A and B are shown apart, each in its own frame.
Chain A
Amino acid sequence: MSPEKKGQMPVEINQKWCKACGLCYALCPKKVLEGDEWGKAFVAHPEDCIKCQTCEIMCPDLAVKVVALRKATKEDE
């Protein structure tokens, strides 16, 4: 698995769909995600992401996507 390019985020958050419930950053085991002033999620520590997908699976609004995981599998193929 190649390391992420500099500046590329492992997790993408669809800000239009995010409703600031806080589930993704409360349950993230590595605290990669944090809430902004409105409570909406953003990637604060991209280097800590272990791609466990907890944020993606727990998001009730389907607004979170672990893109790093998908890129890695595509390269492997």
Chain B
Amino acid sequence: MAEAWDFLRTDKMPHIWCPGCGHGVMMNALLRTMAKLDVNKDDICVVSGIGCASRLPGYLDFNTLHTTHGRALAFATGIKLANPRLKVIVVSGDGDATAIGGNHLIHAARRNMDITLICMNNNIYGMTNGQYSPMTPTSMLATTAPYGNLERNFDLCKLVEGCGANYVARATAAHPRNISQYIEYALTHKGFQFVEVMTQCPTYYGRRNKLGGPVEMINSLKQNTILNTAAAKLPPEKLEGKIQIGEFVKKEELTYLDRFDAMVDRITGGVKP
């Protein structure tokens, strides 16, 4: 059986992420899923934009592409249309996917493009010294919000659900087995598959907000989460401040490529050129 390390570019390790970075936990879970599915390296293409999270494809031994800030989904759409046999995975941070690439995110989900998007949400722009992002919760501190963030953050899963994605799930770095489970589902199904992974940034987010080191942040992630099936049975006042994890949407609607193939058949009358 394949091991997680078989899919790693070991000459590029150790990676550049800080000690205790949640992106590493997520990469570990992703590689474990790849090993479990025993994928062929040539059938996978991993695309990323710019940011801490977007360094991930550099360590993976698949077809990989490091693109411009926020445009990973646009590049991935092109790759998928050019070579539909490839399994295209986009890894992206919260700043990359929701701020600069927010437009690409909603439209990729609306088209139901056959792409798996894994958004690593660490609540901050880590690579550029900790500015607040659209995912920084209200009143939390950041370099550009020294008196607390005034803005509200996205509920990313609800946003992508509203855009029409086929699969929407959320896990945290404290639940790596759930990450693996959700990514496995995402990789084996068609349509726009979205997995949000809440990760800890001990260096900028944790230090500025005095949340402690990686261990304390993982423990608080563990304590502040609740599975969505359990949350459905609880009154709303008990869910305040809790992060809901789990699978929110599971649909098998027609994808962009399904509709494209149907259109080609309709125009050519089923005759292959």
Interface contact A61-B177, CB-CB below 8 Å: no
Which residue numbers of B lie inside 8 Å of A, CB to CB?
4-5, 8, 13-15, 17-25, 27-29, 31-32, 176-177, 202, 213-215, 218
A21-77 contacts to B, CB under 8 A, are: 21-23, 26-27, 57-63, 65
Interface contact A19-B14, CB-CB below 8 Å: yes
Interface contact A19-B19, CB-CB below 8 Å: yes
List 10 other contacts, CB 8 Å, given A23-B214, A26-B218, A59-B24: A17-B14, A21-B20, A21-B215, A26-B215, A57-B25, A57-B29, A58-B218, A60-B22, A61-B13, A62-B28
Which partner residue on chain A sits nearest B15 by CB separation? A61
Q: CB < 8 Å: which of B8, B24, B32, B177 contacts A60?
A: B24
Interface contact B20-A23, CB-CB below 8 Å: yes
Interface contact A22-B20, CB-CB below 8 Å: yes
Complex Cα distance A58/B200, Å?
12
Which partner residue on chain A sits nearest B31 by CB separation? A62
| Residue A9 interfacial (CB < 8 Å) | no
Q: Which residues of B contact A65 (CB under 8 A)?
A: 5
Complex Cα distance A20/B28, Å?
17
Q: Which residues of A contact B214 (CB under 8 A)?
A: 21-23, 60
Complex Cα distance A69/B20, Å?
25
Which residue numbers of A lie inside 8 Å of B, CB to CB?
16-17, 19-23, 26-27, 57-63, 65
Q: How far is the CB of A70 from chain B (nearest CB, A)?
A: 8
Q: CB < 8 Å: which of B5, B19, B202 contacts A62?
A: B5
Q: Which residues of A contact B15 (CB under 8 A)?
A: 61
Q: Which residues of A contact B31 (CB under 8 A)?
A: 62
Q: Which residues of B contact A57 (CB under 8 A)?
A: 25, 28-29, 32, 176-177
Q: CB < 8 Å: which of A16, A22, A27, A60 contacts B28?
A: A60
Q: How far is the CB of A29 from chain B (nearest CB, A)?
A: 14
Q: How far is the CB of A37 from chain B (nearest CB, A)?
A: 16
Complex Cα distance A50/B27, Å?
24
Complex Cα distance A57/B218, Å?
13
Q: How far is the CB of A12 from chain B (nearest CB, A)?
A: 11
Q: Which residues of B contact A58 (CB under 8 A)?
A: 25, 28, 176, 218
Interface contact A16-B14, CB-CB below 8 Å: yes
Q: How far is the CB of B159 from chain A (nearest CB, A)?
A: 27
Which partner residue on chain A sits nearest B17 by CB separation? A60
Interface contact B213-A22, CB-CB below 8 Å: yes
Complex Cα distance A17/B31, Å?
16
Complex Cα distance A20/B23, Å?
16
Interface contact B215-A23, CB-CB below 8 Å: yes
Interface contact B32-A61, CB-CB below 8 Å: no
Interface contact B23-A61, CB-CB below 8 Å: no
Q: Which residues of A contact B29 (CB under 8 A)?
A: 57
Q: CB < 8 Å: which of A16, A19, A26, A60 contacts B25?
A: A60
Q: How far is the CB of A48 from chain B (nearest CB, A)?
A: 20
